[in-house]
């Protein structure tokens, strides 16, 4: 099995052309930390001057000025390092977020639908944002603050190896506390991840379902669930911090406590005459200089221990296996679609069992069958939103998996019962069908789809913002805009997945006329629950339990297919009852 790169290695691998900026940032950070430590060496010179009886005021003034310069340089280098790392980091995070969202368009639809919108939003927004600390701070600052103490310890060892050991004496006990905290924190952090996901999912569900909650008087129970998940999310962090506070405090107190060993051991060595007084003073001062870098390194402990989980969640999107499609290749001009022994599974459950179907170019083909029989799955496979498990789907005799995804997408327009409208203007929602369409072409598509009049009655006409998911419009209005979008695309193959399922009779008539305009001279695949709308289809396929139960014209199926005859009779009975009630 191929070894996976570490979290920090993977994050840095995403830096691309920005790696040079990180190198510059690390170098500047090292210079900044070095300038913050350098005054301690200057102080040793001052102490040495005092011990040697130096009485020239200019000497001390000069040394103080040198320290001031070092501190100013430290601030300058730190600012430049931070600027370089943040400039690179925000560019990398933007590209990472773009790569993740593009990935969602390249993977099978089922993989995306398996995840809740709250969980995906959490990864794409909060998780990727949290990588900012890793890239902008840990990479330059942790590296620099870890390197300088190492250099100082080596210097102390060069002065006197015994004092070097004394300066390191507090490290083992401090590291013991620190490692103990790190070992127990993994489970706590995993709990916070799960709890935060649940809270995000519940919040999105609560907001999206607020109308149902109010109508059915479920405010109390739904709010209780939200409160429970919020409480669990909060206490997952509280419990984690409670478990960490004592070992972290001990580590923060003990590890930098170099004076506890340096002072008594150095004092004994000076008393015994084996260590010069000046060297002892110099080591004391340098040991004090170790404290700040060590504490800075330890302050990143939370980020370091959570980095693996954070990066793992982001990689769960970025590294998803894409649908295999070539980047270039010939696209058949002929638009006959053929399904040959097609099998498909949701997870481990097979839902299509050897579908064979031919849809000639320019024909009207309908898919009918009981709910859950596999009709929509077939439509989505034809639209290349999923890949078949076995068998193949061909366009003009060529396997669609051998056709570039963008080129195949240009061939197909897909209109479902739940078409999504973005929170932007009506005009821009229609223009999604063809990005280079002019305003006149957008308006013409709206007229042909029967929605121009209602659009003009809106407050700002075509510039009216439709709201989140098109919430400012009715279901029929959203559907007609979706059809206008598909009409503007002008694709030779049109798939309608129960496009009128939730519309009233008046809107259905308008939508049917719009569909007639949209599909004139095109290949049309219709999934219909109102069988009276597809009796003129060139061929009707009856789907039952993931198999083709029969196919033929409306009259042929009435005579030869019991399931179709039963469904049609039931549909007509319901329609007659509706007409009687309306009459």
pLDDT-based confidence at residue 338 (cuts at 50, 70, 90): very high
pLDDT at 164 > cutoff 80: yes
Give me the percent of the chain exceeding a pLDDT of 70: 87
pLDDT-based confidence at residue 384 (cuts at 50, 70, 90): confident
Distances (CA, A) of 560 to 366, 519, 542, 544, 563: 17, 29, 12, 15, 9
pLDDT-based confidence at residue 140 (cuts at 50, 70, 90): confident
How many angstroms separate the CA atoms of 23 and 249, rounded? Answer: 33
pLDDT at 11 > cutoff 70: yes
| Mean pLDDT, rounded, of the chain | 81
Distances (CA, A) of 333 to 288, 402, 405, 525: 78, 14, 16, 18
What pLDDT score does 1 carry? Answer: 43
Domains of the chain: 337-582 (3.40.50.300)
Single out the residue of 22, 62, 63 nearest to residue 40, CA to CA. Answer: 63
How many angstroms separate the CA atoms of 120 and 200, rounded? Answer: 10
**Is the pTM value of this prediction over 0.75?**
no
Pairing state between β 349-359 and 337-346: antiparallel
- For 578, counting Cβ atoms within 10 Å of its Cβ (0-12 exposed, 13-18 middle, 19+ buried), the class is exposed
pLDDT in tens, 471-527: 777 777 787 888 888 888 888 888 887 765 555 555 556 666 666 666 677 888 888
pLDDT-based confidence at residue 208 (cuts at 50, 70, 90): low
What pLDDT score does 68 carry? Answer: 92
pLDDT in tens, 210-236: 666 665 565 666 667 777 788 888 888
Q: How many CA atoms lie within 13 A of 19 on its CB side?
A: 9
pLDDT at 47 > cutoff 60: yes
Distances (CA, A) of 379 to 38, 325, 331, 351, 374: 70, 19, 20, 13, 9
Q: What is the mean pLDDT of residues 32-53?
A: 84
Q: Is the distance from CB of 514 to CB of 480 less than 8 angstroms?
A: yes
Pairing state between β 390-395 and 523-527: unpaired
DSSP-derived secondary structure letter, 366: E
pLDDT at 309 > cutoff 90: no
What pLDDT score does 248 carry? Answer: 77
Q: Is 532 helix (H, G, I), strand (E, B) or coil?
A: helix
């Amino acid at each position: 099995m191929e070894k996976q790169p570490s979290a920090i290695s993977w994050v840095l691998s995403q830096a691309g052309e920005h790696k040079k900026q990180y190198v510059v940032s690390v170098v500047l950070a090292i210079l900044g930390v070095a300038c913050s430590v350098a005054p301690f060496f200057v102080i040793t010179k001052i102490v040495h001057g005092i011990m040697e009886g130096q009485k020239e005021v200019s000497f001390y003034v000069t040394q103080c000025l040198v320290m001031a310069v070092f501190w100013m340089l430290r601030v300058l280098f730190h600012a430049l390092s931070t600027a370089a790392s943040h400039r690179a980091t925000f560019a990398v995070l933007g590209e990472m977020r773009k790569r993740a969202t593009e990935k969602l368009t390249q993977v099978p639809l089922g993989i995306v639908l398996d995840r809740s919108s709250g969980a995906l939003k959490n990864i794409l927004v909060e998780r990727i944002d949290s990588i900012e600390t890793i890239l902008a701070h840990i990479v330059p600052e942790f590296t620099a603050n870890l390197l300088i103490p190492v250099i100082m310890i080596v210097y102390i060892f060069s002065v006197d190896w015994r004092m070097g050991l004394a300066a390191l004496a507090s490290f083992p006990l401090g590291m013991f506390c620190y490692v103990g905290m790190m070992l127990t924190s993994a489970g706590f952090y995993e709990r916070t991840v799960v709890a935060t996901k649940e809270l995000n999912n519940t919040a999105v569900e609560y907001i999206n379902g607020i109308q149902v909650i109010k109508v059915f008087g479920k405010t109390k129970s739904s709010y209780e669930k939200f409160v429970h998940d919020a409480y669990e999310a909060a206490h997952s962090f509280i419990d984690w911090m409670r478990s960490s506070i004592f070992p972290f405090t001990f580590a923060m107190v003990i590890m930098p406590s170099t004076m506890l060993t340096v002072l008594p051991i150095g004092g004994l060595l000076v008393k015994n005459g084996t260590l010069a007084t000046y060297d002892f003073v110099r080591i004391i001062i340098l040991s004090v200089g170790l404290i700040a870098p060590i504490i800075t390194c330890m302050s990143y402990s939370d980020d370091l221990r959570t980095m693996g989980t954070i990066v793992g969640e982001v990689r769960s999107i970025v590294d998803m296996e894409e649908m295999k499609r070539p980047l270039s290749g010939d696209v058949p001009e002929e638009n006959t679609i053929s399904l040959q022994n097609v099998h498909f599974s949701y997870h481990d459950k097979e839902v299509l069992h050897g579908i064979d179907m031919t849809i000639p170019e320019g024909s009207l083909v309908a898919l009918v069958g009981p709910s859950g029989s596999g009709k929509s799955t077939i439509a989505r496979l034809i639209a290349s939103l999923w890949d078949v498990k076995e068998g193949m789907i061909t366009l003009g005799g060529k396997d669609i998996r051998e056709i570039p995804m963008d080129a195949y997408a240009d061939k197909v327009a897909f209109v479902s019962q739940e078409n999504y409208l973005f929170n932007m203007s009506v005009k821009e929602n229609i223009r999604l069908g063809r990005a280079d369409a002019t305003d006149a072409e957008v308006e013409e598509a709206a007229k042909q789809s029967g929605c121009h009049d209602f659009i003009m009655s809106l407050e700002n006409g075509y510039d009216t913002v439709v709201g989140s998911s098109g919430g400012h419009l009715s279901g029929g209005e959203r559907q007609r805009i979706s059809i206008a979008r598909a009409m503007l695309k002008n694709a030779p193959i049109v798939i309608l997945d129960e496009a009128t399922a939730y519309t009233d009779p008046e809107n259905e008539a308008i939508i049917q006329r719009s569909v007639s305009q949209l599909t004139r001279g095109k290949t049309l695949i219709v999934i219909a629950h109102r069988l009276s709308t597809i009796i003129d289809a060139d061929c009707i396929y009856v789907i039952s339990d993931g198999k083709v139960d029969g196919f033929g014209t409306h009259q042929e199926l009435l005579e030869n297919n019991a399931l179709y005859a039963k469904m049609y009779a039931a549909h007509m009975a319901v329609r007659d009852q509706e007409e009687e009630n309306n009459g």
